[in-house]
């Protein structure tokens, strides 16, 4: 699962860079997926270990980071969309797409981690 984490880290970094440069480099908050990708990448790299307790620790840190990213990006996407609609203006579609993509990536990653944790627990129980 640590190698899967590195894939998601790269995807988030690409999403952050594309959304930042897609907005004309005017909004530094567009780099938020990049920072989450760097955090996942760091702890994903540390999770590549033959030591089971070390691997478990860093994967639990990763899923916590991803859960925070999922909640934050989904909340931000919904609230910014709602705020724009209530003011009668069109929402920033690039920001909305980036927030939605980050929420989607984080959701997939969290679900994959949960499945991996459940599978590991079942394997230990047998």
Residue pLDDT, tens place only, 21-62: 988 878 888 899 999 999 999 999 999 989 989 999 999 999
Q: How far is CA 29 from CA 19, 20, 23, 86, 125, in A?
A: 9, 8, 10, 22, 44
Query: Could you tell me which residues come within 8 angstroms of residue 105 by beta carbon, excluding any fewer than 6 positions away?
Result: 8, 11, 12, 15
The pLDDT score that the predictor gives to residue 13 is 97
Residue pLDDT, tens place only, 71-115: 999 999 999 999 998 998 888 888 899 999 999 999 999 999 999
The pLDDT score that the predictor gives to residue 99 is 94
The pLDDT score that the predictor gives to residue 125 is 86
The pLDDT score that the predictor gives to residue 66 is 97
- Domain containing 107: what range? 2-125
How many structural domains comprise the chain? 1
């Amino acid at each position: 699962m640590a190698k899967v984490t590195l894939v998601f880290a790269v995807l988030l970094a690409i999403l952050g860079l594309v959304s930042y440069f897609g907005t004309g480099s005017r909004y530094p908050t567009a780099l938020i997926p990049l920072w989450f990708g760097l955090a996942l990448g760091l702890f994903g790299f540390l999770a590549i270990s033959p030591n089971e307790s070390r691997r478990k620790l860093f994967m639990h840190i990763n899923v916590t980071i991803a859960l925070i990213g999922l909640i934050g990006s989904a909340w931000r996407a919904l609230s910014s969309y709602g705020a724009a609609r209530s003011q009668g203006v069109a929402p920033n579609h690039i920001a909305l797409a980036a927030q939605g993509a980050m929420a989607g990536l984080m959701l997939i990653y969290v679900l994959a981690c949960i499945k991996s944790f459940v599978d590991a627990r079942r394997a230990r129980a047998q």
